[in-house]
Amino acid sequence: MANDQSTETTQDLTDGFHLLIDALKLNGIENIYHVPGIPVTDLGRMMQAEGMRVVSFRHESNAGNAAAIAGYLTKKPGVCLTVSAPGFLNGLVSLSHATTNCWPMILISGSSEREIVDLQKGDYEEMDQLAVAKPLCKAAYRILHAEDIGVGVARAIRAAVSGRPGGVYLDVPASLLGQTMEAAKGAQSLIEVVDPAPAQLPGPKAIDRAIDVLKGAKKPLIILGKGAAYAQCDGLVKDFVEKSGAPYIAMSMAKGLLPDDHAQYAGAARSLVLKESDCVMLIGARLNWLLSHGKGKQWGEPFTKKFIHIDIDPKEMDSNQPIDAPLVGDIESTLGLLVDKMDGWSKPPADWTDAVQAKSASNVERMAPKLMNNNVPMDFHGALGRLKSIFKDNPDAILVNEGANTLDFARSVIDMSKPRKRLDVGTWGVMGIGMGTAVAAAVETGQPVVCVEGDSAFGFSGMEVETICRYNLPICVVIFNNSGIYRGTDTDPTGRDPGTTVFVPEAKYDMMMQAFGGEGVLARSPDDLERAVRDAIKSGKPTLVNAIIDPQAGTESGRIGNLNPQSVVSKK
């Protein structure tokens, strides 16, 4: 009898572990990107036991990058779960990255007890994590009592996805997880968030103003950014662009929002349209460094343009250039209101659209022979020409891309034909996103993933090839191995050490994948490379293709070498 009673009592109780799991699941969060350890090891295990997909990584930065891109792909917060202090700090890099990129993410970290941390008594991995996180993310919360878990998770979700999305930190002290409460009361305390990202509509005056400015343009240009891809209103974006008749360019992660072979796509005439347009409409793209702040010769200055800008964050307006027609609202609602006013819209003057098309066509034609070379050692163009045709034949495949030259060349060479298929270094241009991004892309979409990685960029997250093999994910990592950062030819002028930017020549990265049971292939020619990547996509097996590129190929910092300061003191 006594035994029966105690079973009954435990059944009537719930605890912090279960409440946290239930709160996440209640809000449709099913995938967790994780590195186990004190005090969250059991939490990870229990999440898996409760049917969540828990992907355990080798380093928190990579788990965090996975959560960040999961947020971008799904419009739900991607969740990363880490241990305290050092694990938390590793995860914080990607939480800031998510915030900078305007992607919803929640970093949940275990932490030490308040009583010890606040008096600095010296706990295992002691750190005031909430205070550290606050300036680096959109919002940060700590939950101290089991009955507040529902509120804590609801606030984290709302903060992450509403308005301009971003990263949220949720601090979970170890003792919270073990706290118990009555199961029925626990269930009642959970919150299913209603309308987590409410629509935001610009007022009618703002819409009329924008329509007037756009109508007045003789040489309009539309710039689509990754905010427009994030918004997932692809049909509406297409409808608006086509109704407007204006040439458009796509920021790197917005490529494929409309197919890159669209008649209005002016990617190959980028310099011309930036310089000569008289009215630029930004849709989910910021006028930051990636667009040279909308200033300078590249933008045809001293000639001034009119700007129309759709963004959900009012503070973004006038950040770099005066905005003539600010449209503060979500892209779906805003484009819906604009399209309603565009019946019988007259297309921009043909001399503008014809000039843009002619320039595009001639640039594409000039590039074509470079992409068809079969040189050994390979150069970037010979290798990328093959990848371009592979993506053409596999439009559902996802491209993950990082590096310097590898990033710059791949961005312009490989066309995307569907939205959210190109995932890269984002707003910071950060190296190290590769394997985490690839894992989440495979987990969230189930599609084949091809990572095109500089050898240097790969090094930041390379150990996760073990994770890729362990979870048997359909990921093919292609390393553009030119034996160094930028190039493989630097030397130490004193003759003592290797040059600061070189690696072991022709490193056998393919053996890393073999070490964990995946396929590792060495490719010396474009033919080798093409065969290996096509096989990998077909088989769906974890594969690493070590593509040996000429160490002489590549320029300093790729296309952003101008950002390097130069010393004026002459060399010794």
Applying CB under 6 A, the residues found at the interface with ligand ADP are 101-102, 164, 225-227, 230-231, 251, 253-254, 284-286, 288, 290, 310-313, 316, 330-331, 427
Q: Mask: binding to Mg ion, 78-107, rule CB under 5 A, as x and -?
A: ------------------------------
Rg (CA), the chain: 25
Q: Which of 455, 510, 528, 550 binds Mg ion (CB under 5 A)?
A: 455
* Identity of the amino acid at 219: K
Name the residue nearer to Mg ion (CB basis): 60 or 550.
Answer: 550
Q: Mask: binding to Mg ion, 503-542, rule CB under 5 A, as x and -?
A: ----------------------------------------
Q: Which of 77, 220, 385, 454 binds Mg ion (CB under 5 A)?
A: 454
Instruction: Choose the contact partner of 93 out of ligand ADP, Mg ion, none; CB within 5 to 8 A by kind.
Output: none
Instruction: Choose the contact partner of 231 out of ligand ADP, Mg ion, none; CB within 5 to 8 A by kind.
Output: ligand ADP
Task: Supply the DSSP symbol for 563.
Answer: G
Query: First-to-last CA distance in the chain?
Result: 89
Instruction: Choose the contact partner of 230 out of ligand ADP, Mg ion, none; CB within 5 to 8 A by kind.
Output: ligand ADP
Report phi then psi at 541, rounded to 5: -85, 145
Min separation Cβ 258 and ligand ADP, Å: 14
**Burial, 438: exposed, middle or buried (Cβ in 10 Å; 0-12, 13-18, 19+)?**
buried
User: Could you tell me if 62 and 436 are in contact, meaning their C-beta atoms sit under 8 angstroms apart?
Assistant: yes
Handedness of CA 295, 297, 302, 308 (dihedral sign): negative
Distance CA 403, CA 481 (A): 11
Min separation Cβ 283 and ligand ADP, Å: 8
User: Could you tell me if 42 and 5 are in contact, meaning their C-beta atoms sit under 8 angstroms apart?
Assistant: no
User: Helices 331-340 & 204-216, crossing angle to 10 degrees?
Assistant: 60
Name the residue nearer to ligand ADP (CB basis): 224 or 413.
Answer: 224
Distance CA 532, CA 478 (A): 9
Q: Taking CB under 5 A as the rule, does residue 482 contact Mg ion?
A: yes
Min separation Cβ 303 and ligand ADP, Å: 22
Instruction: Choose the contact partner of 27 out of Mg ion, ligand ADP, none; CB within 5 to 8 A by kind.
Output: none
Residues in CB range of 131: below 8 A, 6 or more apart:
none
- Contacting range for Mg ion; rule: CB under 5 A; set: 180-188, 282-290, 428-436, 453-461: 453-461
Min separation Cβ 505 and Mg ion, Å: 11
User: Could you tell me if 290 and 304 are in contact, meaning their C-beta atoms sit under 8 angstroms apart?
Assistant: no
Q: Taking CB under 5 A as the rule, does residue 546 contact Mg ion?
A: no
Name the residue nearer to Mg ion (CB basis): 189 or 482.
Answer: 482
Min separation Cβ 548 and ligand ADP, Å: 32
Strand partners, 309: 282, 326
Name the residue nearer to ligand ADP (CB basis): 101 or 481.
Answer: 101
Q: Identify the residue whose tokens are 């600010």.
A: 326
Instruction: Choose the contact partner of 466 out of ligand ADP, Mg ion, none; CB within 5 to 8 A by kind.
Output: none
Instruction: Choose the contact partner of 482 out of Mg ion, ligand ADP, none; CB within 5 to 8 A by kind.
Output: Mg ion
Instruction: Choose the contact partner of 313 out of ligand ADP, Mg ion, none; CB within 5 to 8 A by kind.
Output: ligand ADP
Min separation Cβ 533 and Mg ion, Å: 19
**Centroid of chain to Cα 571:** 40
Q: Are strands 139-142 and 543-548 parallel, antiparallel or unpaired?
A: unpaired
Question: What are the CA-CA distances from residue 132 to residues 96, 142, 320, 334 (Å)?
Answer: 12, 12, 29, 37
Instruction: Choose the contact partner of 284 out of Mg ion, ligand ADP, none; CB within 5 to 8 A by kind.
Output: ligand ADP
User: Could you tell me if 211 and 269 are in contact, meaning their C-beta atoms sit under 8 angstroms apart?
Assistant: no
- Contacting range for Mg ion; rule: CB under 5 A; set: 123-131, 186-194, 360-368, 452-460: 452-460
Instruction: Choose the contact partner of 249 out of ligand ADP, Mg ion, none; CB within 5 to 8 A by kind.
Output: none
Residue 569's CB is within 10 A of a number of other CB atoms, namely 5
Instruction: Summarize as ranges the residues that interact with Mg ion (CB under 5 A).
Output: 454-456, 482
